[in-house]
Structure 1
Amino acid sequence: MVEDSFPFVYPLPDFLLTLLGLVLFVVDVALDIRLVEDLYSEGAYLKTGILLFIFLASTVIIQLFSGLLYYYDWKNRNAGRELLIRGKWSLTAAHLALLAVPLRYANILKISIKSFHGENSLLEGEAVYQNHDLSLLRLFETFLESAPQLVFMIFIIIQKKQVDFITSLKTAGSVASIALSVAMYHRCMRSFLPEKSNQGYVSSLVYFLWNLLLIGPRVFAVALFTCANPCYIAGHYLILWAVLVFWAWRQDKDFMDNLVGEWLYRCTVGQIWYFSWFNLTVGSTLWRGIIYHSIMLVDMGILLGFWWHQQEYLEDIFKVEPYVILGIIFSLYILGLVLKVLYYRCFHPKVTELPPEEPEVPLRDEVDFHLLDVAQAAEAAERPKQEKLVINKRMRNLAANFYSSPATTH
């Protein structure tokens, strides 16, 4: 479904952030290959299989998402005019070869370079459009691959009771991937603001910090439980993931264009929620956030409680008492919650929904998507018809979901 036109801006810092993402993506894949080789040469076949499963499963899911997004665009907005590979069969072959993410990076680099040379007035907006889908895919990849791999890396380090070079590099790479994908997603959503200054770099920094402080302790708690009870982690994950997918289904807002894509999206959201919060619907997030973080705190308490009886797993590595580790984990998580509250109070633009017949000018830190419709229509009327850039349903839905806040009311 074609939506309204919108004047996008793709500044140089965002381009450099995308370029950094490409570099880290290549490094991460290289480290994956090297780590698999090392584990296999050590005879750790089960660990090798687990690492390969995480990598391949996440990669296949990303190909499916990417292919569906291309298909929806092709069907609804005549996409593909600025793609490196324009034929449907060629794009299909690229996805079967697991090249969706590199292809999207190449598309953005091509469009960005052309837009910086001023070849077309709409190329900058097209770069934002392509970057939007890439940031979404990279966010999914973070929680499908990087977060589970980080749990796995911590498990290996604790089990070996030593830190080797490749394992430490892969751990650092997973952390960097998580951090960058979160920052990219925040900067990408910023494109939907009429006044981009409402979400400056300080806003992105605070957003990044509270996400990292919430994700890090959660990952570490899961890793410690895995070390103490490796036979039970699969059961714990499947039970909690199923509950979270059910919750996502109950909040169903038809993000994708068909039932298969929608269930793939819900299952992925369940995976994200296993590690971090991801807003799925518009409206007030206060009670959903309270429920979610309460569940996570209780679950982390249960995981660390089981680990408490296996304290020797940490003694030879960190040289500190177990209660110190528990204190650090919960303190960092609470600090993350404090920064999250600070972010929503001071930096996050709020969505207001005013009746169309009574339009009001929103406050400086608010984004009204009903009023955006009016502004977009006026902007479109001033431009030649052939220069329209459209926002599709998923872009609008993600932006509306992202700009929902605990203070939003209806």
Structure 2
Amino acid sequence: MEESCHFLCYVLKYLFALVGLLFFLLDIALDIWTVVTFYQNGDYVYMAVMIFLLLGSSVLLQVFSWLWYSDCLDKLETKVETFANKHKLIKPFHFLQLGVFLRYAGVTEMSTKHFLHHTKSFKERKPDLNRDLHMLRLFEAFSESAPQLILMMSRILQRGELELITGLKILTSAAAIAFTIAMYHCSMRAFLQEKEKMSWISTLVYFLWNLLLIIPRVTALALFCTVLPWYLIAHFLSLWMLLVLGVWSQKTDYMKSPGWEWLYRATVGLIWYFSWFKVSTGSIKLKASLYYGVMGLDTLTLLGFWCWKVFEYSGCWRSLNSYIVIPTLIGLYFAGILLKIIYYRWFHPKCDEQKIPKPSEQQNNRQPAAMNKMETDSLESSSEEPVTGVLKRGRTMAANFYY
């Protein structure tokens, strides 16, 4: 019975790796189809904005991927990555915007090897590969998917084409963003010895409260964009700079170089523009209360401007009734906050920060109790080596998430 459960677990992990790759390829195909559709409809401005979002997000991901690869080029364990490094192809791959494909190939290779042979190398390497890949997908969700969703919603509203099928498409896109965040939540399970403390139910609740908070935010931004599109750029830049300063005040230490840390802070500021993401240890109550207070007020301001200008735009008025839309979005926002409080009260596992220490060369000989056996064995076998960027990022993520 126990062997069958383990086998089922292996199958699920393997399927998750394949499904993740398939969805990544499907997302690229849909992006290309959207650009072509904008071109065929003569929406050249929307097409240009779409291309800018795709290229900007892709460059951002490749930069992070290359920086993280450069931390461990001498410790690559998958054949596809080793081959690429041996022939000096990793940098050209990233220059050609193919670095994320290389990471997916590595995860798929290790997943297949583990599925067929249950090898120990999978247990030692795949969590590191997955954590970096989940972070890249998280960055992509808010640098590409969320702005695309706003672009798509604003175009639909301007044309007055809001129907049941388009509403379902919008909901599916928002759910995909929340699902990416939930997968980041799942990746944190590797740091718990007692995995049952972080069940799939907790992941579902985590997904739901993020979905309920993302929908009002992107909808308010899309509605504002329909009536004052150029002002949205000014709104983003001004609020984003304040959010970056807020990230800086948290004294983040995620990247290997202090200079590149500012790129990480700028990216987190982009995430905060849409959704909450914990980047430091300590109590979440004051930080979250301040964040949701500011973002709630900002969302209400956006909705207020839309309601004020909506009578001048018959297409928007014909599609939506402001007396229904605004209370609905406010209700979803408060429901999401309530569900988040429920999650942190009853479903979120907590670890002492000392059990997931901030790594340094002097801490290499310490074995944090919250780390799983795989990572403890890895530390024992390399106690005299400095902590790599992979371990540093993983422990930093865990400390921020659990503490």
- The answer to whether the superposition gives a TM-score over 0.5 is yes
- In structure 2, the CA distance between the partners of 1:37 and 1:63, relative to structure 1 (3 Å rule), is same
Matches within 5 A, 1:41-80: 41-74=40-73, 78-80=74-76
Matches within 5 A, 1:2-401: 11-74=10-73, 78-86=74-82, 87-88=84-85, 89-118=88-117, 120-162=119-161, 171=170, 174-312=173-311, 313=313, 314-318=316-320, 321-353=321-353, 370-372=368-370, 380=377, 392-401=391-400
Contact in 2 for aligned 1:31/1:166 (Cα 8 Å): no
Amino acid at match of 1:380: D
Tell me which moved more, 346-355 or 131-140. Answer: 346-355
How far did residue 67 of structure 1 move? 0.6
CA distance, structure 1, for counterparts of residue 94 and residue 253 of structure 2: 24
How far did residue 25 of structure 1 move? 1.6
How far did residue 38 of structure 1 move? 1.5
CA distance, structure 2, for counterparts of residue 237 and residue 275 of structure 1: 10
Contact in 2 for aligned 1:135/1:188 (Cα 8 Å): yes
Q: Any idea what SS the aligned residue of 2:253 has? A: coil
CA distance, structure 1, for counterparts of residue 175 and residue 24 of structure 2: 10
Q: Any idea what SS the aligned residue of 2:72 has? A: helix
- In structure 2, the CA distance between the partners of 1:198 and 1:11, relative to structure 1 (3 Å rule), is farther
- In structure 2, the CA distance between the partners of 1:155 and 1:322, relative to structure 1 (3 Å rule), is same
- In structure 2, the CA distance between the partners of 1:68 and 1:379, relative to structure 1 (3 Å rule), is closer
Q: Any idea what SS the aligned residue of 2:120 has? A: coil
Amino acid at match of 1:331: G
- In structure 2, the CA distance between the partners of 1:20 and 1:186, relative to structure 1 (3 Å rule), is same
Amino acid at match of 2:322: P
Q: Any idea what SS the aligned residue of 1:64 has? A: helix
Q: Any idea what SS the aligned residue of 1:98 has? A: coil
How far did residue 282 of structure 1 move? 0.9
Contact in 2 for aligned 1:304/1:326 (Cα 8 Å): yes
Mark the runs of 5 or more structure 2 residues left unpaired by the alignment. Answer: 1-8, 357-366
CA distance, structure 2, for counterparts of residue 119 and residue 376 of structure 1: 16
How far did residue 61 of structure 1 move? 0.2
How far did residue 174 of structure 1 move? 3.2
CA distance, structure 2, for counterparts of residue 378 and residue 213 of structure 1: 35
Q: Any idea what SS the aligned residue of 1:351 has? A: coil
How far did residue 17 of structure 1 move? 2.8
CA distance, structure 2, for counterparts of residue 342 and residue 293 of structure 1: 16
CA distance, structure 1, for counterparts of residue 137 and residue 75 of structure 2: 21
- The structure richer in helix per residue is 2
Q: Any idea what SS the aligned residue of 2:230 has? A: coil
Deviations 1:43-81 (A, max 9, x none): 22111100000111001000001111111123xxx3212
How far did residue 162 of structure 1 move? 1.4
Mark the runs of 5 or more structure 1 residues left unpaired by the alignment. Answer: 1-9, 357-368, 405-410
CA distance, structure 2, for counterparts of residue 189 and residue 378 of structure 1: 13
How far did residue 83 of structure 1 move? 4.6
Tell me which moved more, 36-45 or 114-123. Answer: 114-123
TM-score, with normalisation over the residues of structure 1?
Answer: 0.84
CA distance, structure 1, for counterparts of residue 275 and residue 103 of structure 2: 25
Q: How many residues in Structure 1 have an aligned counterpart in Structure 2?
A: 376
- In structure 2, the CA distance between the partners of 1:12 and 1:348, relative to structure 1 (3 Å rule), is farther
Amino acid at match of 1:337: I
Deviations 1:180-205 (A, max 9, x none): 31121111111111111111110110
Identity %: 39
Q: Any idea what SS the aligned residue of 1:282 has? A: coil
TM-score, with normalisation over the residues of structure 2?
Answer: 0.86
CA distance, structure 2, for counterparts of residue 280 and residue 396 of structure 1: 12
CA distance, structure 2, for counterparts of residue 336 and residue 220 of structure 1: 15
How far did residue 168 of structure 1 move? 7.3
Aligned to 1:7: none
Amino acid at match of 2:319: I
CA distance, structure 1, for counterparts of residue 381 and residue 216 of structure 2: 52
Contact in 2 for aligned 1:111/1:124 (Cα 8 Å): no
Deviations 1:242-277 (A, max 9, x none): 000011111123210113321110000000000000
- In structure 2, the CA distance between the partners of 1:327 and 1:281, relative to structure 1 (3 Å rule), is same
CA distance, structure 2, for counterparts of residue 300 and residue 16 of structure 1: 38
Aligned to 1:363: none
CA distance, structure 1, for counterparts of residue 338 and residue 381 of structure 2: 48
CA distance, structure 2, for counterparts of residue 169 and residue 35 of structure 1: 17
CA distance, structure 2, for counterparts of residue 355 and residue 138 of structure 1: 27
Aligned to 1:360: none
Amino acid at match of 1:262: E
Contact in 1 for aligned 2:278/2:401 (Cα 8 Å): yes
Contact in 2 for aligned 1:241/1:271 (Cα 8 Å): yes
